[in-house]
Amino acid sequence: MKCALCGNKTTMFTSWPVNVGHGLIEKIDSACLLKLGIKKTDIRSQNAIKRFSIDSLRKMIENGENFSYSEYKSELKHQKNLNKENYENYFAEFKENGSVYYPLIFRYDTKQIFFALDFLQNVYQIHSFSEIADFKIDKNETFISNTKKDISFSKGITGYLIAGSTGGVIGASSGNSNTKTLKEVSAITFTIRFYDGSYTSFALSGHTEDVANANKIELELKKNCQRK
């Protein structure tokens, strides 16, 4: 095993994971960790740099920069506030000028879609119609069987004539059984694939309103995405 920054040999006990979320998880050795200003006992900083890319860590070392956990947390807070502001502004703009089929808002003047993926974390995406390659819909369906017995009183009367009271009970309880199978949708998942190879997914519940909303989203995607 080699350090992704300096190329020196290292082991799983003397290396730290980085580059998480940027592709292949890499490892850096203790020497490079120290070059970043992080001690072996500084667990908070070690966990924080896990999601830093190799390129960004290499630039920090080249520029002689030390990692600062307090600055890192401050930047995260600033970015979170910025994301919230951007989310709210884009959401309001698209809602005013487009059609809302939550979590999507279709804007026809700019031919774009706003994906409101997580309003609590202010996660959103904006894609043009022409970026969408195709989409898939998966429905989580369950089937419920309900059997109903139709009692025939004419058979009960015949029973009395043939076998007395016992025949009447048997006859009255006999009849045709009707079994109805109902289909219920518990969840609807959309997976939308883009021409750059990326994709995004979101799910709706099986409630009546969400099912109706899912049908509208499907129609809008069919009408507006540029399938080839």
Give residue 89's identity as a one-letter amino acid code: N
- Sign for the pseudo-dihedral over CA of 147, 148, 153, 154: negative
Q: Where are the alpha helices (DSSP H) in the chain?
A: 30-35, 43-48, 54-62, 69-97, 153-173, 208-224
- pLDDT band for 23, please (50, 70, 90 cuts): low
pLDDT mean over 116-144: 85
Give residue 38's identity as a one-letter amino acid code: I
Give the tens place of pLDDT for each residue, 131-174: 999 999 998 877 666 666 655 544 444 443 444 444 444 444 45
Give the tens place of pLDDT for each residue, 167-226: 444 444 455 666 666 677 888 999 999 888 888 889 998 888 999 999 999 999 998 875
Give residue 210's identity as a one-letter amino acid code: D
Residue 142: its pLDDT value, please? Answer: 75
Write down the pTM of the prediction: 0.53
Residue 135: strand pairing partners? 192
